[in-house]
């Protein structure tokens, strides 16, 4: 049977690259894989670098997916666009390192016929939309508190050779997702206000990955308190209401408004999500001590988002990249860097090209 796409290129075929491979498998006839790591289970056999590809392949690949460690995103994109100025590319989040944002803009300006999108899978989470809709349905005029936590013990993954983001630290993993969610909860005006706030940051600094835990506390001018938290050491602070025995990744969102509490526990079965089980999200609304709503939302939002993104790359009106979450991450990183440098907490990291 003829599939939608003939050839997809995956650059970096570790955890995320393999997810792309699986998600796009039903849509695509053939794949080109680029990865310096030789893994027996990878099919087709990977090219070690983009430089090893025969030149005509750059034109034959219809969609490129960049899933390398973040520090290799920009150089991979540069190579792809120099091989095919009209390439269609999905880049994993976060798009690039802090000092690569301006060169990234310049590259896109130079290659104005290229189509490039960044993964923002939580922009299309039905569970998050359900919460946003519930806030409207309950006519919530003032939110007292928003708490979001995405925490996981990443040490076993890192010990097994998964990449380490020593540039952004904890901000380079789940923080893009946290910000994409808060962007939807706040709406455009409060999101813009939030992005300009200087927040209180409580960080655990780390010699290897710069910052391994972070809690950010902010207050909007209207009084809404915002607490965002992520730990790579598996320390969960914002308690869930779903009693999973084997909680692998804690992704929790809570909004309080007067006596109302809206609580969302997102797809906790992280490691089984591509084995056929749908993503399971749990949504609960409480009014005081009463549970007034309790539902399970089954939503395979990551595959859906990747399909949607791929479609957008083929449309004439491919949407522009939203840079606001990365800009916020960079300003938070700059504050943390200043804290670290002032107190001599961690060794300096790359601040520009080597």
Shortest approach of ligand NAD to residue 122 CB, angstroms?
A: 9
Closest approach of ligand NAD to the CB of residue 29, in Å: 22
DSSP string, 218-262: EE-TTS-EEEEEEESB----S--S---TT--EEEEEEEEETTEEE
Hey, which residues between 92 and 151 contact ligand NAD (CB under 6 A)? Answer: 92-93, 119, 121
* CA–CA gap between residue 49 and residue 265 (Å, rounded): 39
Which of the ranges 7-15, 225-233, 311-319, 337-345 carries the binding residues for ligand NAD, by CB under 6 A? Answer: 7-15
Question: Which of 121, 281 has the CB closer to ligand NAD?
Answer: 121
Instruction: Identify which of residues 23 and 185 has a Cβ nearer to ligand NAD in the complex.
Output: 23
For the CB of residue 35, give the shortest distance to ligand NAD in the complex, in Å: 4
Using the minimum distance from each CB to ligand NAD, give the nearer residue, 100 or 190.
100
DSSP state of 175: H
Instruction: Indicate the pairing of strand 5-11 with strand 63-66.
Output: parallel
Burial class for 45, CB neighbours closer than 10 Å (0-12, 13-18, 19+):
exposed
Question: Which residue in 9, 23, 31, 35 binds ligand NAD (CB under 6 A)?
Answer: 35
Q: Does 70 bind ligand NAD (CB under 6 A)?
A: yes
260 near ligand NAD (CB under 6 A)? no
* Residue nearer to ligand NAD on the CB measure, 12 or 303: 12
Question: Is 15 a binder of ligand NAD (CB under 6 A)?
Answer: yes
End-to-end CA distance of the chain: 48
Residue 352 and residue 354: Cα distance in Å, rounded?
A: 6
Secondary structure letter of residue 45 according to DSSP:
P
List, in order, residues 6 or more apart from 287 with CB less than 8 Å away. Answer: 259, 260, 261
Q: With respect to ligand NAD, which residue has the nearer C-beta, 176 or 218?
A: 176
Name the residues that contact ligand NAD, by CB under 6 A: 11-17, 34-37, 67-70, 72, 76, 92-93, 119, 121, 162-163
């Amino acid at each position: 049977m003829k599939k939608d796409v003939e050839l997809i290129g995956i650059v970096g075929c570790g955890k995320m690259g393999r997810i792309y491979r699986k998600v796009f498998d039903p849509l695509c006839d053939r794949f080109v894989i680029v990865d310096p790591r030789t893994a027996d289970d990878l099919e087709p056999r990977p090219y070690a670098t983009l430089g090893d590809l025969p030149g005509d392949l750059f034109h034959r690949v219809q969609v490129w997916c960049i899933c390398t460690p973040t520090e290799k995103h920009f150089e991979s994109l540069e190579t792809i666009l120099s091989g095919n100025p009209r390439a269609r590319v999905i880049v994993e989040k976060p798009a690039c390192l802090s000092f690569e944002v301006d060169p990234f803009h310049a590259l896109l300006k130079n290659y104005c016929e290229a189509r490039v999108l960044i993964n923002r899978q939580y922009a299309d989470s039905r569970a998050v939309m359900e919460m946003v809709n519930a806030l409207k349905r309950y006519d919530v005029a003032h939110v007292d508190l928003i708490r979001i936590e995405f925490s996981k013990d990443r040490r076993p993954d890192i010990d097994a050779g998964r990449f380490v983001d020593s540039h952004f630290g904890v901000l380079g993993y789940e923080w893009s997702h946290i910000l994409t969610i808060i962007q939807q909860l706040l709406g455009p005006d409060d999101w813009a206000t939030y992005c300009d706030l200087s927040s209180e940051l409580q960080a655990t600094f780390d010699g290897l990955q710069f910052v391994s835990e972070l809690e950010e506390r902010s207050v909007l001018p209207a009084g809404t308190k915002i607490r965002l938290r992520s730990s790579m050491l598996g320390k969960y602070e914002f308690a869930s209401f779903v009693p999973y025995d084997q909680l692998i990744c804690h992704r929790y969102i809570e909004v309080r408004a007067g006596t109302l509490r809206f609580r969302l526990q997102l797809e906790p079965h992280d490691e089984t999500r591509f084995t056929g089980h749908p993503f399971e999200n749990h949504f609960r609304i409480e009014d005081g001590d009463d549970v007034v709503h309790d539902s399970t939302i089954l939503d395979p939002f990551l595959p859906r988002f990747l399909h949607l993104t791929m479609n957008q790359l083929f449309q004439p009106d491919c949407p522009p990249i939203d840079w606001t979450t990365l800009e916020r991450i960079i300003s938070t990183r700059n504050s943390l860097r200043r804290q670290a440098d002032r107190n001599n907490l961690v060794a300096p990291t790359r601040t520009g090209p080597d």
